[in-house]
Amino acid sequence: MGEVRKLQKKLRQIENLEIKISLTPEERFKISRKAELRSRLAELQLQLSGPQQTLGIVGDGKKEKMKRQVEHAPEALPSQTPPATKILKGEEESKAQPTPVPAARPKETGGKAEIGRQQERMGPARVSDHCRDMSGGCSDFDKEQKLQQEEAEFTSLKASWEKVKFRLRLLEGHSDIVTCVVAVDNLVVSGSRDTTVKVWHVPTATEHKHLGGHTGGVTCLSAPAPEYCKRLGQCVKSIYTFNAVTALCFVPEKDGYIITGSDGGKVQAWSWHTFENCQSVNAHQEAVTSIQSQGPLVFTGSAEGGMSVWENRCLSRDPLRLLHHWTGQVTGCGGGLGGRLSLSPRGDKVFLAYGRAWLKILHWRTGTTSRLTNHSSITGVADCVHQIGGLLIGSCYDLANGESTLNLFSLPQCRYLATLTWPDAPRILCFAAWTTGSGDHRWVTGGRDLIVWEQLPSSGKQRSDVTVKRDSRLDSCSLESEEDTEDDEETDDYEDDHDSDEGKDNRRDDAEDGGSGSWLRCILQ
């Protein structure tokens, strides 16, 4: 088992190297050994086939109590959040249909929080009287009826996803890895390591615009609402930042802010009105890899696995106030060089993907965590996590065989629904999702290929390009509390060349003092 873990670590580092913006000759040599290491790992897995291959799977026995508690816990929904974008066919319709189309419920978004007051205002906001009765004076019969109803709804939802059909369309034009994607109406905007940003017209699967101007790979994109772009017309604004920008997010509160993260761990806020720097904070030890907003809250995640939660106070100076910071030791996402944390907030929870066979769920007010298995083998890695309504989507890539999949879970219970894949599917590094006016799903995935997913009518005669399957080993998985799991944090040091990697890490620490600058280019049409 020790050799399996060593090979897994080496393959994970190789996969991380392959998506870097630039490579040294030494790193290219490491990548050239991938096929050899993968073949050896497959041989060992065959020899060790049995319980060892399903590490991280939770049985039905002692986890059942935890599972029930999670399934019936009301979501903490702060009351000051603006309503999410309308996503067709709400929950009521899905209840009325015996086999509903896989539609999404509105996203829950966050509200204000007070720093240092973790025990106050932590409880769930208003919940229905029925839910309150469940914890109080409801009879056992009523509780059992509610459980049966929830189980029937989940069974119906699961059946609908088992029948789902998608047509895949390849968007050809980038000459290197696609690192980021966003969707705007019928347009998809993609950024690539080839230094370009492209705009695609989804209905015709054609390139709409080609935007240049960057001298390095494009690592992040954000799409402001149209009303924020109208006054700018066709002009192009550029903002110089001392360190390379590795993540960004647009926050629409007040006049609007651009929140950026750098490769040195710095978080900065920029005024949308004047494009001047409003705030600069050394927030993380390594590169900021993900920034997401939820109402007045901003969430930042970094390569070392740490996460911070900020409140946007809509001030002209220092608009961001730090509410909580949790290190990689708390989130359980630390332990490797070249990490790439992806996050997706939902109420008081944040879903985290960090190149492991599981997704972490951080309750950001308290720092408690749970774990959701996303692959039945220890060689699976999750690169990105996304939500759309009542659906949680986690990407998974198997280091041992190169198979790429998307796993679907229901929210808020986080119960496994189905797995989607297709022949020769590439590793999925970024993901965006939206729904059409008729309620069908449209997704776009990026990595080696840029692919649009368009949902087809389940009753139609068109054949699906996607294979829908179920992993029976994931069926028995539930959320695990950290008390119930072994400490599985690993370092991803490539043991043959540990010294050289350590030297690279030292150079990263010096980035703040003498790092190369970057132009944050805002191209607004």
Q: Give the CATH number for residue 304.
A: 2.130.10.10
For residue 148, give the amino acid letter: Q
Within 10 A of 475 (CB to CB), how many other CB atoms are there? 12
Closest Cα partner for 154 from 415, 386, 373? 415
Domain total of the chain: 1
Phi, psi torsion values for 85, nearest 5 degrees: -60, 140
- 144 domain residue, yes or no: no
- Only one residue has tokens 């209840």, namely 95
Neighbouring residues of 358: CB distance < 8 A, sequence distance ≥ 6: 56, 371, 372, 373, 374, 375, 382
Burial string for 273-296 (b: 16+ CB within 10 Å, else e) reads: eeeebbbbbebbbbbbbbbbbbbb
What's the CA dihedral at 7, 10, 11, 17 to 10 degrees?
A: 180
Asked if the peptide bond before residue 412 counts as cis, ω within 30 degrees of 0, the response is yes
pLDDT at 335 (0 to 100): 66
Within 10 A of 227 (CB to CB), how many other CB atoms are there? 9
- 36 domain residue, yes or no: no
DSSP category for residue 136: T
8 A C-beta contact, residue 384 and residue 42: no
Neighbouring residues of 442: CB distance < 8 A, sequence distance ≥ 6: 183, 202, 433, 434, 435, 436, 452, 453, 454, 455
pLDDT at 336 (0 to 100): 60
List, in sequence order, every residue forming a beta bridge with 199; answer none if it has no partner: 189, 209
pLDDT at 21 (0 to 100): 65
Neighbouring residues of 437: CB distance < 8 A, sequence distance ≥ 6: 88
pLDDT at 255 (0 to 100): 82
Q: How far is residue 489's CA from residue 445's CA, in Å, rounded to a whole number?
A: 28
Q: How far is residue 494's CA from residue 91's CA, in Å, rounded to a whole number?
A: 48
* Structural domain of 284: 165-491+517-523
- Only one residue has tokens 């998809």, namely 188
Q: How far is residue 42's CA from residue 501's CA, in Å, rounded to a whole number?
A: 26
- Only one residue has tokens 């992040």, namely 220
- 49 domain residue, yes or no: no
Give 322: exposed, middle or buried? Use CB within 10 Å, 0-12, 13-18, 19+: middle
- 438 domain residue, yes or no: yes
- Only one residue has tokens 């100076």, namely 317
8 A C-beta contact, residue 125 and residue 113: no
pLDDT at 201 (0 to 100): 93
pLDDT at 80 (0 to 100): 33
pLDDT at 484 (0 to 100): 42
For residue 120, give the amino acid letter: E
Calculate the alpha carbon distances from 11 to 31, 81, 96, 379, 401 in Å. 9, 42, 48, 9, 11
8 A C-beta contact, residue 393 and residue 386: yes
- Only one residue has tokens 């986890």, namely 63
8 A C-beta contact, residue 389 and residue 106: yes
pLDDT digit of tens for each residue in the chain (525 aa)? Answer: 678 778 877 887 787 777 776 778 888 888 888 888 888 887 887 777 654 333 333 333 333 333 333 333 334 333 333 333 333 333 334 434 444 444 443 334 444 333 333 333 333 333 344 444 444 556 788 888 888 888 999 999 999 999 999 999 999 999 999 999 999 888 999 999 999 999 999 988 899 999 888 888 898 999 888 788 776 676 677 888 888 899 999 999 888 899 999 999 999 999 988 889 999 999 999 999 999 999 999 999 999 999 999 999 999 999 999 999 999 999 988 766 567 899 999 999 999 999 889 999 999 999 999 999 999 888 889 999 999 989 999 999 998 888 999 999 999 989 999 999 999 999 999 999 998 888 899 999 999 999 999 999 888 788 999 999 988 888 766 566 554 444 444 444 444 544 444 334 443 344 333 344 555 554 443
pLDDT at 476 (0 to 100): 66
pLDDT at 431 (0 to 100): 95
Centroid of chain to Cα 29: 30
Taking the CA atoms of 77, 293, 290 and 474 in sequence, report the sign of the dihedral they define: positive
- 39 domain residue, yes or no: no
- 41 domain residue, yes or no: no
- 307 domain residue, yes or no: yes
pLDDT at 420 (0 to 100): 96
8 A C-beta contact, residue 399 and residue 381: yes
For residue 224, give the amino acid letter: P
8 A C-beta contact, residue 479 and residue 392: no
Q: How far is residue 304's CA from residue 239's CA, in Å, rounded to a whole number?
A: 27
State both tokens at 413.
């219970």
List, in sequence order, every residue forming a beta bridge with 7; answer none if it has no partner: none
Closest Cα partner for 263 from 242, 245, 251, 239? 245
Q: How far is residue 270's CA from residue 317's CA, in Å, rounded to a whole number?
A: 10
pLDDT at 246 (0 to 100): 92
Closest Cα partner for 218 from 210, 226, 206? 210
Q: How far is residue 489's CA from residue 368's CA, in Å, rounded to a whole number?
A: 16
